[in-house]
A and B are shown apart, each in its own frame.
Chain A
Amino acid sequence: MILTALANSSQHGYGIITDVQEISGGRVRLRPGTLYTALDRLRTDELIEVDREEIVDGRLRRYYRLTPTGTKRLGVEATRLQTHATAALTRLRLAGGTAI
């Protein structure tokens, strides 16, 4: 979900938290500690990198963006999820379900 938040533009930490909340329809609210543990792992795996830094009201804001590897990984994951969702909906339709 963090990768999705960074899909079309770079974001700072607080921006990622609010974006993830929006993407998930309010179901997921990342806590800052958890976010930075995830960001550290994503940086180690070279899926994201620092885009730029800004000082706003005397406080440091660091913006993150996807690396080419991160973009590729997000694409692969999104396709995989889409395939699963399509398969689930097709089977429900065949079973006469009412999900569609």
Chain B
Amino acid sequence: MTDRANLERGYRRLLAWYPSAFRRENGEELLTVLMSCAPESQRRPGIAASVDLIRSGLWMRLRPTVPRAARTVRAAVRLMYAGAAVTTLSLIGTIISLPFIGHKAAGLRLFGDSQPGAVAITLGIVSGVILIALWLWMARANGQGRNWARILSTVLFGLATLHLFGNKDVVQLVFVVATWLVGLAAVWLLWRPSSNAFFKPRGFTQAGHVADSSLRSN
């Protein structure tokens, strides 16, 4: 196998970090640019180029695909990412503080007082991770204009409202109310009239690019 063929194979492997829709639409084109940028003598992808492709590929998987015109949806998606960040920080904070506040208090903070300390801590960590995953999932799906995600987000917000009540310590209460307010703002934004055009059924041109001209009028 020649050096160029080796190099191309290396780049193709790195392109696997990108979502398949992006690869279908832009993979060959990106490969052309990568090969054009590489000196004739290069045999395999360099470290900087590899890091760039991995970072960009991961970003393309996570990025919100909301056009600038759909401002309310963009804001809602950002709030959801903020909700995930706050939940992550809260979970990390509680885990770090475990040795200082004791199992009983940590258990209460993580999962209420309905379970013994150790069980509550385990359940609390698992439910915290699930909560973070839900924030990220909803942010991504809403950012892709999925109407079911808008409905599911609202249902989850309703469940979060029920979680407001019950026995909590002050730290947990502050966290629950803060994330509830973030959720409230996100749901409110998702159902604004200006968000509706983004969630209407529409055709896709390529790689998730919206072909709905109605957004341009917003």
Contact = CB atoms under 8 A, between A and B. Distances in A.
A34 B56 contact: yes
A37 B60 contact: yes
Interface in A61-96: 61-62
B125 interface: no
B29 A13 contact: yes
Interface extent on B, as a size class?
A: 20 to 34
A41 to B, nearest CB: 8
Grouping DSSP codes into helix (H, G, I), strand (E, B) and loop, the A interface class, with mixed when no group exceeds half, is: helix
Interface of A: 12-14, 17, 31-37, 40-41, 43-46, 59-62
Given A32-B52, A62-B29, 6 more contacts: A34-B56, A37-B59, A40-B63, A59-B35, A60-B29, A60-B32
27 contacts: A12-B33, A13-B29, A14-B32, A17-B33, A17-B37, A31-B48, A32-B33, A32-B37, A32-B49, A33-B30, A33-B49, A33-B53, A33-B57, A34-B52, A34-B56, A36-B26, A36-B30, A37-B59, A37-B60, A40-B22, A40-B26, A40-B63, A40-B207, A44-B65, A44-B209, A46-B67, A59-B32
